[in-house]
Amino acid sequence: MISAAEETEGVGIPRLNIGEWIEAGVDWVNENLEWLFNLIQTIVSTLTDGLDDLLNTPDALVLAVVFSLLAWLVKDWKLALLSIVMLVFVISIDQWENAMTTLALVAVAAAIALAIAIPLGIWAARSDRVSGAVRPVMDLMQTMPAFVWLVPVVTLFSIGVTGGVIATIIFALPPGVRFTELGIRQVDSEVVEAGHAFGSTPRQILLRIQLPLALQTIMAGVNQVIMLSLSMAVIAGLVGAGGLGNEVTRAIGSLDIGLGFEAGLAVVVLAIYLDRMTAAIGRGGMVSGRASKLVRRRLDAHRSATRGRAMGQV
């Protein structure tokens, strides 16, 4: 128990029992807010399991082709070709089902992380006080060794996919906040001033000027969130989150080199695919890429049509 008399290396410096206090805090939260954690558990596990089932329902090859087509829409045929080759490789090493489970976990964790991070980043960009308060919290979340988050998470959610998702969110959230704040703060102040000068409301300035101009930086943050989610999702295998993480954990436990590398390579494939996809969406904003070209062409056609109509009236 807490004994204030306990000595430390430094003479006269009492031992602070921070560990015990945090433990006590987590216990208290666990006892008193159980309903909340049950709710979170229900929502998160439903989402993740649902997505997992969805991804594992169609034939592996069909889904691989769909992913490849997506790559073609977002970027070009080269990425599409690379994707289909890599994804077929995952099927061939028999890690497809695990990869889809991990993808579901990453998708849910990243989506929740971004849903929290982007509004928080916007808020921090608009208020120095919020920014000052958020920064140390982000530092703590990001630099605390990833494994440490697993312990309280297991206490609160027990072993399983929810704990994995929550630990992943905590670990992957900070870059989302930071990049959003940075992106908005970096928008040319003269352009923002122009927005004010023509009488825009703060909301109009955010939606029509700041967010569009910060989009590239925010997308870089989204990319980081997704990549960190993936790395944490594998670590979360330790708490039974399932998917490739489980395979890796199992390989470590049984010193199975072959299994370890197979699961590891599947993680690499997922990482490359997700990275290239988010990077392509981010870099292009809504400018390059086949999909946006198609959209643009239709918009142009529409615009010239309306102009023609307007000319006709004159």
- The stretch among 27-35, 49-57, 132-140, 201-209 that binds other proteins (CB under 8 A) is 201-209
* Position 101, amino acid: T
Residue 45, CB-side half-sphere exposure with 13 Å CA sphere: 16
Judged by CB under 8 A, the residue of 12, 199, 253, 258 near other proteins is 199
- Structural element, H or E, at residue 60: helix 60-74
Instruction: Please tell me the distance from the alpha carbon of residue 106 to that of residue 100, in angstroms, as a whole number.
Output: 10
Q: Write the secondary structure of 69-137 as one string of H (helix), E (strand) and C (coil).
A: HHHHHHCCHHHHHHHHHHHHHHHHCCCHHHHHHHHHHHHHHHHHHHHHHHHHHHHHHHCHHHHHHHHHH
**Distance of closest approach, residue 187 Cβ to other proteins, in angstroms:** 10
Judged by CB under 8 A, the residue of 14, 25, 50, 212 near other proteins is 212
**Distance of closest approach, residue 277 Cβ to other proteins, in angstroms:** 22
- The stretch among 16-24, 131-139, 199-207, 243-251 that binds other proteins (CB under 8 A) is 199-207
- Does the footprint of other proteins cover residue 301 (CB under 8 A)? no
Instruction: Please tell me the distance from the alpha carbon of residue 294 to that of residue 278, in angstroms, as a whole number.
Output: 19
- The stretch among 44-52, 139-147, 155-163, 192-200 that binds other proteins (CB under 8 A) is 192-200
- The stretch among 95-103, 194-202, 243-251, 260-268 that binds other proteins (CB under 8 A) is 194-202
- Does the footprint of other proteins cover residue 193 (CB under 8 A)? yes
Judged by CB under 8 A, the residue of 128, 190, 203, 255 near other proteins is 190
- Does the footprint of other proteins cover residue 38 (CB under 8 A)? no
**Distance of closest approach, residue 175 Cβ to other proteins, in angstroms:** 23
Give the single-character DSSP code of 13. Answer: P
**Nearer Cβ to other proteins, position 159 or 207?**
207
- Does the footprint of other proteins cover residue 297 (CB under 8 A)? no
SS3 call for 245: helix
CB 189 within 8 A of CB 198: no
**Distance of closest approach, residue 136 Cβ to other proteins, in angstroms:** 25
Binding string, residues 242-281; x marks residues near other proteins by CB under 8 A: ----------------------------------------
The two tokens of residue 120 are: 């928080």
CA quadruple 212, 214, 218, 219: dihedral sign: positive
> Which residues does 220 contact at the CB level (< 8 Å), separation at least 6?
179, 282
Please count the residues of the chain: 314
Judged by CB under 8 A, the residue of 34, 137, 188, 295 near other proteins is 188
Instruction: Please tell me the distance from the alpha carbon of residue 303 to that of residue 104, in angstroms, as a whole number.
Output: 40
- Does the footprint of other proteins cover residue 200 (CB under 8 A)? yes
- Does the footprint of other proteins cover residue 78 (CB under 8 A)? no
**Distance of closest approach, residue 231 Cβ to other proteins, in angstroms:** 32
Residue 178, CB-side half-sphere exposure with 13 Å CA sphere: 16
Q: Under the rule (CB under 8 A), what is the footprint of other proteins?
A: 188, 190-191, 193-194, 196-201, 204, 208-209, 212-213, 285, 300, 303, 306-307, 310
